[in-house]
Structure 1
Amino acid sequence: MGIGMNIRAIKVRLATVKGDFGFKFEFGRGLTVIRGSNSSGKSTLFNCLMYGLGMDELVGGRGEKVLPYAVKEFFNHGEERVEVAASEVFVELENSSGASITLRRAIRDTARDTKLVEIFEGGHLTVPSAGLGSPKPTFLFDPGSAKKQEGFHHFLETFIGYQLPSVATTSGGMTKLYLQAVFAALAVEQKRGWTDYIANIPFYGIRDARTRVTEFLLGLSVFERQAKRAELDADSMAIDTNWRRAYDNLCQAAAVNGVVIEGLSVTPTALLDASSVQFVKSNGQTKISLAEHVGQLRAEHAALGAKAEAYGKASGAEALQELDSASEELQRLSVLHERATANLALQKASQEELCTLLAEANEDLDRNKTALKLRDLGAQMEIDVATDHCPTCHQPVDDTLLFGIVSGPQMDLRTNIEYLESQRRMLQRQINGSQEEIRQSEIAVADVAARLAAKHDYRNSLRGDVSTGAAESRAIVRRQIQIELELSNLAGFETQAATLLINLEGAAARLAVNQAARRALPKDAYSEQDLLRIGLFEKNFRSNASSFGYESAEIRDIRISTDTLTPTLSDLELREIITKPKASLIADSSASDFVRLIWSYLLALYQTSATRGFEGNHPGVLLMDEPGQHSMRSSSQHALLQLLSGEGKLQSIVAASFDENESVFKEATAGLKFKLIEWEGKVIQPLQ
């Protein structure tokens, strides 16, 4: 199914004690002009149409509150006030496949909620039938209305032929490019719709929503790349989570067993080689591998076994000698523990000092950046002191925050910011390294403390052996049990470590694939084909602006920015305002000229999307409420209607008062083919 939508008709029915009131109009397939005075109900018709399409957010809110009281509370019929008992709106739509549907939505009803939109098969407004048949109920605004089968916006999206992409949010996640955001470029209401190129986009947390809508309507290929990049980002986050979980579990198991890990990165790396990861035991001074440590423990256990067999034959002198040896070892371990503890305290103190320096650097950096920002803004406003000159005596002013505080050469603000940035990066690296040193020192302190406690128990047991003259050494048995327990724990650690290293290797392999896929993505935001579409969009925009009589700038100098996809002049977004071009952050354009730019922009979106070979996602419908803002010349309005009428496959519905002047209306529509909708008096009248 292709992409497209045509609005065939609208009907609003108000049930009253005086009978049914309201209005019913059919729209042409090309240009339809809705002519009415400012108080006749022209905007009522437009807003009811938006309400019936479920696009009430584009006219100021959700629900029936966006509609005037005349369609939900009361209206005047002649001199009589008529109360509205119930009211509803019908809208008939047709898609590119020729399928027709009729939508029904309550405005005021005791039984049906305004969030309910009923869908009837067939066009019941243009081809009256005996009955509407059974409706398909859908809902609005509640969670899932854009994604669930029962959601109205999901239904309308499918009916038009859309598959709306996912886009980045301001919070860093992804969300759908909601249909209401797209419709903001298709329907422009009177009050706020002419304030921006695509105004009134409801807030859904979409980053650069205006640009995303333009990219979608032009059919740019950025969404495929964004989806791929988002997929890679999600995979990166999963890799990082898996890596850190395995790393933390490994570090925790190592710390419990007094093991230090070397050769393993805290952050994921695709270059992990499990064979290069080393497990060592450290006493704060010397390091040995875990395998060597296990060998030493087993040798000690065997020696203790031999000593136990000969214990009964040993002399008292030998027992005392063993006691002296244990006491010396205990004293040596006490010294090691004291040194390791002191070293750990020094490392922690050093880290605290580094953190203080980092906080000061961040504070200085923030002050300098703020000063530079204020100076740059002042320079743009031509303030003398911002251009390094005193406004009173016109003498040079030093570009520094330290003037008068220090003597000698001083760095200017930009140089100082660069210096502080490098200092901050250096301090952060030092803090990261300090954290790793502290972690290893804590493991070493815990290991020495455990060995110290074990040796203390062994010496006490030896003293008991000597004092009691036991035939069997309780000290040897105690030490053997300690060794056996440590060996068992280390064996369990090695098994756990092997499993965790396999997990880390898997994460490293996934990261390598992820990085390769990222390198394969195009580096530029837009492909060559996208740039051709943007170039055609720019050409159409300039042509339209010229046709509409835009005068505030040279049209040939206007460009469509590849950053925002909006018109720019000298790299500044082209809007209305200002009296001094030099002091302005945006280019000059009168209010009416800015409205001409909006006309040009919205029409160029369709023209580009409808060009053979450059087909985009514009559904071929454009609604404008009072486009002749700011006393627009009738010649400009004629140019707009002429271009709209000339687009054979574009359905355009324009509601305008034409300054309530017959001559202005005739001049604006002279020689054009269009369907006219107008009425006498108020739009709400008795229904036939």
Structure 2
Amino acid sequence: MTMRFRSYRLRAVTDDGTYGADVRFGEGLTVLWADNTKGKSTCMQGMLYALGLEKMLSPRREIPLPHAMTSYLNLDDGQRVDVLESRVSLEISNGQDQIITVHRAVKAPTDSRLITVDFGPSLTDESRQFPTQNFFVLDGGAAQREDGFHFFLEQFLGWELPQVRRYDAPETKLYLETVFPLFWVEQKFGWSTIPAAIPTYMRIREVHKRAVEFLLDLDVYKLEMQRERLAERIAANAKEWTALHEELSRFVARSGGRVVGLAEKPVADRELLDRAHLEMADGLNWTGLATMIARNRGIAAELDAISVPEVSEQANEVARRLDERIAEVDRLNAERIRVHGIRQLKSADMLSLQRRIDTLADDLAKNLDVQKLQRYSGVSSLLTPDRCPTCEQALIDTLLSQEALSAVMPIADNIEYIRSQKKMFEDILSREAAEDDSRSDQLNAISRELTDLYAQIRSLRAELVAPGSNPSATAIEDRIRAEAKVRELEAIQSVFDEAIDRLESIQTAYADLLIEQASLPKDKLSAEDQLKFSHLTRLLQTQAAEFGFSTFGASELEISSDSYRPEKEGFEIGFETSASDAIRLKWAYQLSLLELASGSETNHPEILIFDEPRQQSSSKVSFESLLRRASKARERGQQVIFSTSEDLETLRKITASIECTQQIFDGYILQRMN
């Protein structure tokens, strides 16, 4: 997962010939020097542009290069020539020693969104021809599709960028523009923040954290995403269970029954599901479905065993049954009126309970506000009847009897009391609501029973006036009704059994999800993540001291495991540091990320680019320490590139005693090509 810059080329075709520059990068530290306004920024931003990373600087699609590559070129003699065409080329390699050369036009007839890749070192070996392929950048799909350059570059680097959450969409890929600022610090915005000036306009949630987590290959985001997705699956499982429960309850209620012992939310205990059963309305009582089926099967069998009698043979029996049905109707109607009356009374009680709960909620909010004001103002939370709770002035007790001057409950105790009262009334309301649902089921069952009784009464009355020699219609209807009842109850049982089978599969999935959830680490950071943070903190402390950080002791610095930023005693470091110390801290942080990659498993490409690192007039001693520390990258097989306008004599004194590659440009970087 490494990336190395090998060679870099700028070319600008003018009406006075071709101007350009060639830069070779060495192993370890490379120092690129040019005086101010001589094209150093052109050189550095051109490398960003070559890789299609200009959106790292701004959401605008404008070319980030100055006039020297886009419109006109200033010459050493003060003349100005127009730029007709221009382009940049960058030769890079990866950890598998694969080399590619990237070409991109700055000003040309072709579209600037086109990038051409030579599959070989076409800058350092111009004698050979290499296969080429065109890619596109900036347009949608550049990071997802095969012809997108960033998709190709991601594979070339051996990365697999994760899917991350967005504010305006479910998920998206973590773009290269959000990761490169962690090891490529450009001059305009890169020094403004730690860990990096990462673009936020891509609407990625906590983009700074996601970028650091990927670069350090932390488990924390993977675990967080696992937890979130697991929670979503558990929620979907519960939703499926609840929907099936509600569907089953509605179906059974339409048939005059109710579901008993079935939890409304999924449970892992198999025995709890085995206890679930159905009860059917049996007059004013509830009888188990299995018992009802057995009883009605027996009735149907008895009726089927006898022949159908004539009307004359059934007259007395029909009259008796008619009287029984009428009496049963009267009894059920009286019961329905009674239950309906109870419901009306309980409905009023429930409304009263709800009003009481709302009042307590309002009182609780007001008391919480008072407690907050007391906490903010530093006023004691103890209230006394002779003191104003707001301004603490004494109150004249003329209107109060001496008996009233008793201790007043402290605000904290008052809050807890209101909360307990509110919880108690909510529990009562919940029980009343459950009982009301039961009464509603009872009324539905009574209505269903009455409907059946009215049908029987009509049939019995019709038979009393029928000719005596006719077959008894009532006996026939009894047989049909008994057989239909058995079929109906068996159908209900079948639906219930099918629902239980589906709930069993949901329950099995739920138990598996709970096991998977329990297997996740309890801590936010894995053991390996904690080791990385400990190592990173030690590197940061060592380098901050080495670079002269002096706002407070460097040993007090830590890396926050939450924000991944430097902190002291749990607080992020902000305005209390001087501007020069903030830059030193930036040096230490970026170099620590680089050095951590040599001993830990990370996604860092093991390259670090600083554009003008001596910001805010950091001392020469600090700058020398920075260069010496950066020069050790060669020992670790890493690469560091600095561009600077530091005093050349001072720079030469420093570089003379360290191992590095120097690229010194006298005058403008872009010179006329022979």
Counterpart CA distance in 2 for 1:503 and 1:102 is: 59
What is the percent sequence identity of the aligned residues? 27
- Aligned pairs, number: 656
Q: Tell me the residue number matched to 1:650.
A: 638
Q: Tell me the residue number matched to 1:607.
A: 595
Q: Is the 8 A contact 2:540 2:557 kept in 1?
A: no
Q: Which of residues 266, 269, 272 in structure 2 aligns to 1:268?
A: 266
Counterpart CA distance in 2 for 1:356 and 1:664 is: 80
Counterpart CA distance in 2 for 1:7 and 1:407 is: 83
1:118-267 → structure 2 map (5 Å cutoff): 118-129=116-127, 131=129, 133-137=131-135, 139-140=137-138, 142-143=140-141, 145-166=142-163, 176-203=173-200, 206-222=204-220, 225-226=223-224, 228-229=226-227, 232-233=230-231, 235-267=233-265
Q: Which has the larger radius of gyration?
A: 2
The AA in structure 1 aligned to 2:194 is: Y
Q: Tell me the residue number matched to 2:517.
A: 518
Q: Deviations over 1:395-446 (max 9, x none)?
A: 995699xx99x99666666666666666676676666666655555444333
Q: Per the alignment, in what secondary structure is the counterpart of residue 330 of structure 2?
A: helix
Q: Is the 8 A contact 2:309 2:475 kept in 1?
A: no
Q: Tell me the residue number matched to 1:324.
A: 323
Counterpart CA distance in 2 for 1:13 and 1:361 is: 76
1:417-456 → structure 2 map (5 Å cutoff): 437=435, 439-456=437-454
Counterpart CA distance in 1 for 2:228 and 2:502 is: 24
Change in 2 beyond 3 A, CA 1:100/1:520: same
1:93 matched to 2:81? The reply is no
Change in 2 beyond 3 A, CA 1:653/1:171: same
Q: Is the 8 A contact 1:637 1:668 kept in 2?
A: no
Q: Deviations over 1:69-111 (max 9, x none)?
A: 5534555557666555554432211112211001233445554
Q: Per the alignment, in what secondary structure is the counterpart of residue 52 of structure 2?
A: coil
Counterpart CA distance in 2 for 1:416 and 1:70 is: 73
Q: Which of residues 611, 628, 637 in structure 1 aligns to 2:614?
A: 628
Q: Per the alignment, in what secondary structure is the counterpart of residue 182 of structure 2?
A: coil
Which stretch of the first structure deviates more once superposed, 513-522 or 631-640? Answer: 513-522
Q: Is the 8 A contact 1:635 1:667 kept in 2?
A: no
Q: Is the 8 A contact 2:308 2:472 kept in 1?
A: no
Q: CA deviation at 1:501?
A: 1.0
Which stretch of the first structure deviates more once superposed, 639-648 or 128-137? Answer: 128-137
Counterpart CA distance in 1 for 2:372 and 2:151 is: 45
Q: Tell me the residue number matched to 1:458.
A: 456
Q: Tell me the residue number matched to 1:583.
A: none
Which stretch of the first structure deviates more once superposed, 539-548 or 96-105? Answer: 96-105
Change in 2 beyond 3 A, CA 1:265/1:315: closer
Q: Per the alignment, in what secondary structure is the counterpart of residue 132 of structure 2?
A: coil
Counterpart CA distance in 2 for 1:552 and 1:322 is: 101
Counterpart CA distance in 1 for 2:553 and 2:621 is: 20
Q: Tell me the residue number matched to 2:540.
A: 541
Q: CA deviation at 1:180?
A: 3.1
Counterpart CA distance in 2 for 1:66 and 1:417 is: 60
Q: Deviations over 1:298-352 (max 9, x none)?
A: 4555677689833513465543333222222222232333444455556666666
Q: Is the 8 A contact 2:268 2:508 kept in 1?
A: yes
Q: CA deviation at 1:533?
A: 2.7
Counterpart CA distance in 2 for 1:598 and 1:479 is: 92
Counterpart CA distance in 1 for 2:435 and 2:35 is: 79
Instruction: Give the RMSD, CA atoms, in angstroms.
Output: 4.0
Task: Normalising by structure 2, report the TM-score.
Answer: 0.84
Counterpart CA distance in 2 for 1:668 and 1:408 is: 80
Change in 2 beyond 3 A, CA 1:445/1:170: farther
Q: Which of residues 42, 50, 53 in structure 2 aligns to 1:52?
A: 50
Q: CA deviation at 1:360?
A: 5.7
Counterpart CA distance in 2 for 1:639 and 1:342 is: 89
Q: Tell me the residue number matched to 2:285.
A: 286
Q: Is the 8 A contact 1:610 1:618 kept in 2?
A: no
Q: CA deviation at 1:593?
A: 0.9
Q: Which of residues 108, 112, 115 in structure 2 aligns to 1:117?
A: 115
Q: Per the alignment, in what secondary structure is the counterpart of residue 199 of structure 1?
A: coil
1:597 matched to 2:594? The reply is no
Q: CA deviation at 1:498?
A: 1.3
Q: CA deviation at 1:291?
A: 1.7
Q: Per the alignment, in what secondary structure is the counterpart of residue 488 of structure 1?
A: helix
Which stretch of the first structure deviates more once superposed, 31-40 or 413-422? Answer: 413-422
Q: CA deviation at 1:548?
A: 0.8
Q: Deviations over 1:337-391 (max 9, x none)?
A: 3444455556666666666666666666666666666776x5xxxxxx24559xx
Counterpart CA distance in 2 for 1:488 and 1:534 is: 69
Q: Tell me the residue number matched to 1:584.
A: none
Q: Is the 8 A contact 1:558 1:569 kept in 2?
A: yes
Q: Is the 8 A contact 2:309 2:472 kept in 1?
A: no
Q: Is the 8 A contact 2:4 2:607 kept in 1?
A: yes
Q: Tell me the residue number matched to 2:384.
A: none
Counterpart CA distance in 2 for 1:335 and 1:466 is: 27
Q: CA deviation at 1:462?
A: 2.6
Structure 1 unaligned spans of 5+: 379-384, 390-394, 578-587
Q: Is the 8 A contact 1:462 1:473 kept in 2?
A: no
Change in 2 beyond 3 A, CA 1:686/1:571: same
Q: Is the 8 A contact 2:284 2:446 kept in 1?
A: no
Q: CA deviation at 1:22?
A: 4.8
Q: CA deviation at 1:677?
A: 3.4
Change in 2 beyond 3 A, CA 1:462/1:396: closer
